[in-house]
Amino acid sequence: MRFHLLLAIFSFGIASSFAYANGDKPDFFVPFWYAGASVAHQIKNGPSQCEGLNRIIDGLHLGYQFSPYLMTEVEYQYLGCMVTSEQLNRDMIQGTVNTKLGYPVANNITPYLKVGVGGKVNGIAGLMGLGLSYRVSDDVALNMEYQYTTLISNSEFVHQRFSLGIQYRFSYATPRVITIEKPFVHDVTTERMVEVEKIPQFETVVKTNIQVVLFENNSSMLINTKALLPIVILLKMHLDTKVRITGYTDSTGSEKYNQWLSSMRAKNVGDYLINQGISSGRVVILSKGELDPISSNSTVNGRAMNRRVSIELN
């Protein structure tokens, strides 16, 4: 009964994978292949007579991530050694097919649930596990995982392992083209006519939209800062000028996630300006998530226009 439940969950995960692959995908994520290796601490159970770290590499896997929430992978695993009826030591090795269901709780941290089936010399096994993935960079992620395995034909066979792994993305999501509102300012010459006359404030007179690559898909990490250099120059020329940075997203994804992502993007743009010598007191950060769209979210082009950062000087 226990394994039937595992198998049902696994089958649902596989079906969801294919349904997702053939259905509409959110615009903010591009699927990718990945591969990795792990080292595991085996827990002595049943016929398994080995415990602890037995090999430098205890697992190799190849996977495909369909969305931020869904992954499918195949894996080779070394489960330790067992004592046969002839009192001979034999290595336990299995191949598995798994589905992972995760939920990003931060830009680079994703806890996940793992369910699948494994095949060994002595039978078919069901497995489930819990893990945590930490993305170190665009290409590399670290994983920590607990896995529980049991044979279909022998419920007394139980195997547990804790593993640490590393994985590499073969192709990560291409950078998103977003719209940034870049201010254009009239060249105004101020004449000191009278000492009490108030000097006009530097202000945004005309706005226009240009296409600039600032962020990776579904990420707040700046990958192109050249487009921000004119803003830095203007702020250094006009020391009384303040900058207001507002982050936006399209309507894809949850409202809470979009609000968080837009705030992180705006903050990272602000941090860049501060690192370039602009006083933090002159930088105002705002985030509106999916609010105030400038185009319809019902089309691909419209959603691309709504994924933007607005920069205003005043």
What's the pLDDT tens digit per position in 176-191? 434 444 444 444 333 3
**Under CATH, which architecture does the 175-313 domain have?**
2-Layer Sandwich (3.30)
Mean pLDDT of the chain: 73
pLDDT at 60: 92
Give the per-residue SS3 of the chain: CHHHHHHHHHHHHHHHHHHHHHCCCCCCCCCEEEEEEEEEEEECCCCECCCECCCCCCEEEEEEEEECCEEEEEEEEEEEEEECCCCCEEEEEEEEEEEEEECCCECCEEEEEEEEEEEECCEEEEEEEEEEEEECCCCEEEEEEEEEEEECCCCCCEEEEEEEEEEEECCCCCEEEEEEEEEECCCCCCCCCCCCCCCCCCCCCEEEEEEEEEEECCCCCECCCHHHHHHHHHHHHCCCCCEEEEEECCCCCCHHHHHHHHHHHHHHHHHHHHHCCCCHHHEEEEEEECCCCCCCCCCHHHHHHHCEEEEEEC
- Give the confidence band of 100 by pLDDT, cuts at 50, 70, 90: very high
Topology (CATH) of 9-169: Porin (2.40.160)
Q: What are 284-310's pLDDT values in tens digits?
A: 998 888 888 888 888 877 777 777 888
pLDDT at 213: 52
pLDDT at 56: 58
Q: Which ranges in the chain are annotated with CATH 3.30.1330.60?
A: 175-313
Q: What are 27-53's pLDDT values in tens digits?
A: 445 688 999 999 888 776 555 555 545
Q: Which ranges in the chain are annotated with CATH 2.40.160.20?
A: 9-169
